[in-house]
Amino acid sequence: MKKKIALLPGDGIGKEVMEGAVDLLKSIAEHYHHEFDFEYGLIGGGAIDQTGDPLPDETLEICKASDAVLLGAVGGPKWDENPAELRPEKGLLKLRKELDLYANLRPVQAYESIADQSPLKAEILEGVDLLIVRELTGGLYFGKPSERSHHNGEESAVDTLFYNRNEIERIIETAFKLARERRKKVTSVDKANVLESSRMWREVAEEVASKYPDVELQHMLVDNAAMQLIRSPKQFDVIVTENMFGDILSDEASMLTGSLGMLPSASLSESSLHLYEPVHGSAPDIAGLNKANPVAMMLSVAMMLRHSFSLEEEANAIELAVKHVFESGKRTADLADKNHESLTTKAMVEEVKEAMADDHAIFNIMTAYS
Ligand SMILES: NC(=O)C1=CN([C@@H]2O[C@H](COP(=O)(O)OP(=O)(O)OC[C@H]3O[C@@H](n4cnc5c(N)ncnc54)[C@H](O)[C@@H]3O)[C@@H](O)[C@H]2O)C=CC1
Ligand SMILES: CC(C)CC(=O)C(=O)O
Ligand SMILES: [Mg+2]
């Protein structure tokens, strides 16, 4: 199979985990006889420095001419004082909007082998397997006005949480379709006791639910959801929610796995062009130190192979290899402690590649999980 992949490393550890992803994809191409053509594009702070634009037109063209987009992360303190339009994050938000990547799937699976690194008790984590479906092109991150002004002589600022019915309908539909393939439960998270947009969200969720009688719908207020994720995460199957609520809840949910460096994501559009990126950001505190956990990015590659290219076997091989590496006690610094060796980013990628190439290791782990 021949596919073209747009690679947007971005800033900070985005560049380091992207190197790992490319390494992994080359090894998959060799092992399974595929051809992946890579084309790099600028985005974020690096793009501002080189072109004055956080999302140059050329990058958008590269993405549109590709079969899938892989992104690292954007942002960093160097650009934090920039005006709104010249922030690295603006580049990513514009890319999501331009490609209409409305459905951000953020799976959260707790691995027993690294459960000791979660602040939660092992019995709370055992069997956690949930999917956050975050609306990605509307809500509070996109509503207008979003600006500073003066009211009655005083400085003020406004952001707007805007949705039209269709935007809500399509994300809820996506959540129900996904729940049908899973444990058939959707928890729609909102703030309907305060926000009008949430009351419309709830109404639409009820309407969509009537078309899926085999799937249970539960409504939950976002403050309660934040608490329930820690108290009893196993109750959740699919969570569907507004853009910012999903952003916050998914970082919180990452601690069910032990590290933010564990969560992958897929950002899906109605077309065949989708984007894959880790949930984490550019982690300026560890950037350039070869210590970032590359697993979130490698699992994002697995999501890309499965969703965009229907390469189920290859996606499974990555996921099983990651499990195998953790079960053999190897971890990056974010998950390590005095009982566990701490691997560099590059060493972790090597371990996963080796486990993937080792049919025996994969067979053992398949047997353990069957
Ligand atoms: N999708 C994206 O490009 C995102 C970009 N950002 C940007 O990233 C910059 C930093 O934001 P933060 O709030 O610090 O969030 P962050 O996700 O970059 O980091 C939060 C904490 O988690 C750690 N961490 C994150 N990923 C890790 C990994 N793979 N391995 C080990 N540790 C990891 C970091 O070291 C840090 O202590 C900001 O400019 C922000 O706007 C933040 C989130 C998403
Ligand atoms: C625009 C991004 C920086 C927002 C974010 O934190 C995310 O998508 O996870
Ligand atoms: Mg985030």
CA separation, residue 16 to residues 75, 251, 270, 287 (Å): 14, 20, 30, 8
Closest-CA residue to 37 (of 7, 76, 82)? 7
Whether 247 is catalytic: yes
Q: Which ligand has an atom closest to residue 11 CA?
A: 1
Question: Ligand 2 mean position to 276 CA, how many Å?
Answer: 13
Read off the pLDDT of each residue in 25-35 and give the average, rounded to a whole number.
Answer: 96
**Computed over its alpha carbons, how large is the radius of gyration of the chain?**
20
Q: Which ligand 2 atom sits nearest the alpha carbon of residue 136?
A: 8
Task: Show me where the domains of the chain are located.
Answer: 1-102+269-370, 109-262
SS3 297: helix
At residue 341, the pLDDT reads 80
**Exposure string for 292-313, b = 16+ CB within 10 A, e = fewer:** bbbbbbbbbbbbbbbbbbebee
Task: Identify the residue whose C-alpha is closest to ligand 1 atom 13.
Answer: 281
Question: What is the distance between the alpha carbons of residues 268 and 251, in angstroms, rounded to a whole number?
Answer: 19
109-262 has the same fold as 1-102+269-370: yes
pLDDT in tens, 119-169: 999 999 999 999 999 999 999 999 999 999 998 999 999 999 999 999 999
Q: How confident is the model at residue 358 (pLDDT cuts 50, 70, 90)?
A: confident
pLDDT at residue 67, as a whole number: 98
Q: Which of 238, 168, 217, 226 is nearest to 197 (CA)?
A: 168
pTM across the whole model: 0.97
The two three-digit tokens of residue 256, written as one number: 């069910």
User: pLDDT class for 365, splitting at 50, 70, 90?
Assistant: low
In the chain, the DSSP E strands lie at 2-10, 35-40, 68-73, 103-109, 129-135, 139-151, 154-162, 185-190, 216-221, 238-241, 266-268, 275-276, 331-332, 342-343
111 belongs to the catalytic site: no
In angstroms, rounded to a whole number, what is the distance separating the alpha carbons of residues 141 and 167?
14
Rounded distance between C-alpha atoms, residue 232 and residue 244, angstroms: 22
pLDDT one-digit tens code per residue, 309-318: 999 999 999 9
Alpha helices, DSSP H, located in 191-331: 196-209, 222-231, 243-254, 295-307, 312-327
CA distances in angstroms from 70 to 271, 275, 348, listed in the order given: 16, 6, 19
Concerning whether 141 is annotated as a catalytic residue, the answer is yes
Q: Are 337 and 118 in contact (CB under 8 A)?
A: no
pLDDT digits (tens, 9 = 90+) for 323-332: 999 999 999 9
Q: How wide is the angle at C-alpha 168 spanned by C-alphas 165 and 169, nearest 5°?
A: 80
Atom of ligand 2 nearest to the CA of 96: 1
109 CB-contact burial (10 Å; exposed 0-12 / middle 13-18 / buried 19+): middle
Catalytic residue flag (residue 191) = yes
- Residue 363, pLDDT above cutoff 80: no
Pairing mode, strands 103-109 and 185-190: unpaired
Q: Which CATH architecture does the domain made up of 109-262 adopt?
A: 3-Layer(aba) Sandwich (3.40)
139 CA distance to ligand 3 centroid (A)? 14
DSSP annotation string for 130-146: EEEEEE-SSEEEEEEEE
ipTM over cut 0.85: yes
Please give the average per-residue pLDDT across 264-286, as a whole number.
98
CA of 94 to the centre of ligand 1 (A): 19
Q: Is the CB of 16 under 6 A from ligand 2?
A: no
- Give the model confidence (pLDDT) of 205-237 as tens digits: 999 999 999 999 999 999 999 999 999 999 999
Pocket of ligand 1 (CB under 6 A): 13, 73-76, 89, 92, 260-261, 277, 280-286, 292-293, 296, 334
Residue 346 burial by Cβ neighbours in a 10 Å radius (0-12, 13-18, 19+) = middle
Q: Catalytic pick from 67, 247, 276, 334?
A: 247
Buried b (16+ CB within 10 A) or exposed e, 203-212: ebbeebbeeb
How far is ligand 1, taken at its centre, from the CA of residue 130, in Å?
22
Which residue in 141, 163, 212, 276 is the catalytic one?
141
Assigned fold of 1-102+269-370: Isopropylmalate Dehydrogenase (3.40.718)
In angstroms, the CA 86 to CA 93 distance is: 12
Ligand 2: which residue has its CA nearest to atom 6? 247
Does residue 144 have an active-site annotation?
no
- Residue 3 burial (CB count, 10 A): 19
Question: CB neighbours of 245 closer than 8 A, spacing ≥ 6?
Answer: 134, 189, 190, 191, 222, 225
The answer to whether the CB of 55 is under 6 A from ligand 2 is: no
Sign of the torsion formed by the C-alpha atoms of 124, 126, 127 and 131: positive
